[in-house]
Amino acid sequence: MDAILGDDPLVFIGLTCVLFGGAGFMMGQAIARTWRPPVQILLYGLGLTLFNRFLVYALFDGDALSIVGFVVDALVICLLAFLAYRIASVHRITAQYPWLYERAGLFGWREKGADRLD
């Protein structure tokens, strides 16, 4: 497992999933609230991943140059950021245009009256 993650599994859960995953979640919300395109999640997510790998190396003596570990960390951080982006986008659209759209689950919206067939 250390070879895949590039560090101890507890370090991965604590640092990558909880700390940097939470930062990625907040990043996704902030990008959605400011109407920025989702491609910025990748750019900012890679920056968070670089800092995550540095802290894994500096604090826990992990492998800083683990390509697989970098990719796994980037996937976790960016996935949580995209999840938050979508949730915040749905909330933003339905709150700003309540006469046009209504929520259709956690990740989607629909036009009001679109479920009725005349």
Is position 105 within any domain? Answer: no
Quote the number of domains for the chain.
1
Domain that holds residue 51: 2-85
- At 67, list the tokens: 């390509």
pLDDT confidence band for 114 (50 / 70 / 90): low
The shares of helix, strand and coil residues in the chain, as percent rounded to the nearest 5, are: 70, 5, 25
What average pLDDT does range 98-108 have in this prediction?
Answer: 89
Which pLDDT tens digit goes with each residue over 30-81? 999 999 999 999 999 999 999 999 999 999 988 888 899 999 999 999 999 9
pLDDT beyond 80 at 90: yes
Q: Is residue 60 part of a domain?
A: yes
Task: Tell me whether residue 11 is in a domain.
Answer: yes
Count other Cβ atoms within 10 Å, centred on residue 5.
20
54 belongs to a structural domain? yes
CB 77 within 8 A of CB 48: yes
**pLDDT band for position 113 (50/70/90)?**
confident
Q: Is the pLDDT score of 16 beyond 60?
A: yes
On whether residue 99 sits in a domain, the answer given is: no
